[in-house]
């Protein structure tokens, strides 16, 4: 795909994001988009957000569970970029009117204290480079109509990233079994679903190592201080006005988030 | 729960002999309600109690109890609001890391559970989660091998209860722990079959907290005129979905904070 086409789709996704509306799947219009093309479209989309004033604060890893990989017909995760405009703090209420068709995922986030330069990064390097882990919610959102995504669509659309919120309880991965730590998700005071760290590529550290190696190949820096959302350990939960979610990571702590307003697709 | 027995003593003995034959000679039978459509839960437990009486008379030792249908999904599937219980004998116990024969099983499936060993006798009704925790000597990880004796997995709650809650074999192992040193609600669990993760979850999947299932079990025992004696081994119900096993399969259940339990299946 030439630069002109890459820019066209990156700009289209940026406009859709800014105007809270959806566009038809890219793959329906350009059946030959490769994964590499899709990442170039993502970079253009993010470049537009950065030019408009945001900064890159981290990465998200998606498509980390077997059911999602089977659904999309891929055998590896994907990634997107976290920007300063996506950040909420624990206790904040997330304004759904800023989103289109949001769903929540409970995850473990990593914050690095050292750069991770792939290729050649292992899960052991990830633990060594990790400052702390923290329970978090990623609110995924899609600029593609009705979430009708193939892998190229979601990658181009910044891995369907919406906003995210980190919990306040920080843990040391040397003191916590991040692979076997349970994940309990409650919605409006009732148990919704459960999961475990191993749901993410066998261990969340494996997903972060995959990201370091993938970024290394693409020449994208992976810096100390960045936040990495390591992949969903829960079911996807559609959220509406008034919903409250709590996720608890066994041996670590919780992250609580409330929602208000109406998302664009519900308005 | 009212234990309303409608079947005659003669019918109870007849159904018990049918279940006992299916269990000891490993063959499938039609669900009992095909012949007795008016069978109640009380009738199911009357058949189960007769089965227990017969096994104990043959020299089997009662080692404890198990709770079943403890997840919201399973209860909804069966259209019930309370779990079921079954008894456990020494003949059903298999050591950790042993080879379990499937020759005397119909269609075995395995589930990961948190097991409790009691240091004080508990009596219902109105037994609570806190009373269970106070009466617990220790908890340990366990794998239950369930085996419904009904053809084609066609059954209803009354038939399952009569069939002793599909109890067949169990393996306790891993690491014994004091309950006060754990958050029993958020323990992560992973089941691997032949080295591959096949199912996972967290312990809250069992009625929000595994001790809740033990309290309900004690209250059902009270309805049957029984207590839960000190020294009992009690399994609190499947955290993960039941996974079918056949000869050649190797199972490892990994639990956060509780270690692992392994076994393999042979002809």
State whether residue A197 sits within 8 Å of chain B by CB: yes
The three-class DSSP label of residue B29 is strand
Residue A128 pLDDT: 96
Selected for mutation to probe chain B from A202, A250, A253 (highest B CB count within 10 Å) is A250
Distance CA A108, CA A101 (A): 23
pLDDT, position A71: 85
Query: Is residue A82 pLDDT above 70, yes or no?
Result: yes
CB contact under 8 A, B204 and A191: yes
Round to whole Å and give the CA distance between B220 and B235.
Answer: 15
Name every chain B residue with its beta carbon within 8 A of the beta carbon of A195: 188, 200-202
- B21-48 residue pLDDT tens: 999 999 999 999 999 999 999 999 999 9
Domain positions in chain B: 9-266
- A138 lies in a domain? yes
- Buried b vs exposed e over B128-145: b needs ≥16 C-beta within 10 Å? ebebbbebbeebbbbbbb
Q: Are residues B256 and A196, on separate chains, in Cβ contact within 8 Å?
A: yes
Q: How do residues B149-177 score in pLDDT, each as one tens digit?
A: 998 877 889 999 999 999 999 999 999 99
Domain of A63, in residue numbers: 3-260
- CA B134 to chain A, closest CA, distance in angstroms equals 21
ipTM attached to this prediction: 0.91
Q: Which of A210, A228, A212 is nearest to A220 (CA)?
A: A212
DSSP letter assigned to residue B51: H
Is residue A267 in some structural domain?
A: no
Contact between chains at B186 and A251 (C-beta distance less than 8 A): yes
Q: Is B202–A250 a contact, with Cβ atoms under 8 angstroms apart?
A: yes
**Res. B71 pLDDT band, cuts 50 70 90:** confident
State percent of chain B over pLDDT 70. Answer: 99
pLDDT digits (tens, 9 = 90+) for A151-172: 999 999 999 999 999 999 999 9
CA distances from B75 to A175, B47, B70, B78, B84 (A): 36, 22, 7, 5, 10
The chain B residues in contact with chain A (CB within 8 A) are 72, 183, 185-190, 197, 200-205, 208, 239, 254-257
Query: How confident is the model at residue B2, as a pLDDT?
Result: 67
CATH code of the domain covering residue A29: 3.90.850.10
Contact B256 A250 (CB under 8 A): yes
Q: Is A183 at the interface with chain B, CB within 8 A?
A: yes
pLDDT band at B72 (very low <50, low <70, confident <90, very high): confident
Residues of A with Cβ-Cβ distance to B203 under 8 angstroms: 182, 194
* Mean pLDDT score across all residues of chain A: 95
CATH for B9-266 is 3.90.850.10
B-chain CB neighbours of A66 within 8 Å are 197
Contacts of B189 in chain A (CB under 8 A): 180, 182, 196
- pLDDT, average across residues A202-228: 94
Number of domains in chain A: 1
- What is the DSSP-derived secondary structure letter of residue B125? S
According to the model, what pLDDT value does residue B1 have?
A: 60
Asked whether residue B238 carries a pLDDT value surpassing 90, the answer given is yes
On whether residue A265 sits in a domain, the answer given is no
């Amino acid at each position: 795909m030439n630069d002109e086409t890459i820019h066209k789709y990156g700009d289209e996704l940026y406009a859709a994001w800014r105007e809270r509306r959806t566009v038809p799947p890219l793959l329906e219009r350009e059946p030959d988009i490769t994964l590499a093309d899709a990442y170039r479209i993502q970079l253009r989309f993010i470049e537009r957000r950065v030019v408009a004033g945001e900064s890159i604060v981290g990465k998200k890893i998606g498509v980390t569970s077997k059911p999602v990989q089977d659904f999309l017909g891929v055998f590896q995760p994907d990634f997107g970029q976290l920007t300063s405009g996506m950040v909420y703090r624990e206790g904040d209420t997330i304004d759904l009117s800023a989103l289109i068709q949001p769903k929540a995922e409970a995850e473990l986030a990593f914050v690095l204290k050292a750069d991770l330069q792939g290729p050649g990064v292992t899960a052991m390097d990830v633990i060594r480079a990790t400052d702390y882990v923290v329970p978090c919610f990623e609110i995924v959102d899609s600029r593609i109509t009705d979430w009708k995504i193939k892998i190229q669509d979601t990658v181009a659309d910044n891995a369907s990233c919406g906003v995210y919120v980190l919990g306040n309880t920080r843990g040391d991965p040397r003191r916590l079994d991040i692979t076997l730590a349970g994940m309990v998700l409650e919605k409006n005071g009732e148990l919704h679903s459960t999961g475990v760290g191993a749901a993410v590529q066998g261990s969340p550290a494996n997903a972060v190592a995959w990201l370091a190696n993938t970024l290394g190949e693409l020449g994208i820096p992976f810096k100390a201080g960045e936040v990495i959302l390591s992949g969903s350990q829960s079911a996807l939960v559609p959220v509406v006005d008034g919903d409250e979610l709590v996720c608890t990571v066994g041996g670590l702590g919780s992250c609580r988030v409330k929602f208000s307003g109406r998302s664009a697709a519900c308005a | 729960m009212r234990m309303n027995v409608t079947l005659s003593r003669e019918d109870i003995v007849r159904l018990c002999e049918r279940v006992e034959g299916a269990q000891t000679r490993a063959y499938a039978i039609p669900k009992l309600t095909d012949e007795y459509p008016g069978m109640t839960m009380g009738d199911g437990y009357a058949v189960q109690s007769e089965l227990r009486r017969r096994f104990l008379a043959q020299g089997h030792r009662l080692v404890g109890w198990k709770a079943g249908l403890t997840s919201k999904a399973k209860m909804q599937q069966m259209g019930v609001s309370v779990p079921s219980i079954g008894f456990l004998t020494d003949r059903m116990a298999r050591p950790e890391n042993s080879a379990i024969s499937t020759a005397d099983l119909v269609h075995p499936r395995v589930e990961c559970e948190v097991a409790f060993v009691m240091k004080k006798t508990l009596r219902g009704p109105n037994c609570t989660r806190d009373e269970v925790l106070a009466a617990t000597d220790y908890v340990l990880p366990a794998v239950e091998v369930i085996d419904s004796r009904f053809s084609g997995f066609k059954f209803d709650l009354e038939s399952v209860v009569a069939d002793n809650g599909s109890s067949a074999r169990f393996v306790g192992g891993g690491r014994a722990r004091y309950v006060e040193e754990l958050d029993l609600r958020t323990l992560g669990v992973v089941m691997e079959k032949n080295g591959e993760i096949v199912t996972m979850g967290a312990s809250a999947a069992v009625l929000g907290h595994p001790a809740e299932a033990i309290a309900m079990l004690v209250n059902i025992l009270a309805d049957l005129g029984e207590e839960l004696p000190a020294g009992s081994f009690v399994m609190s119900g499947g955290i993960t979905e039941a996974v079918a096993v056949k000869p050649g399969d190797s199972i490892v259940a990994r639990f956060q904070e509780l270690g692992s339990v392994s076994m393999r299946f042979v002809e």
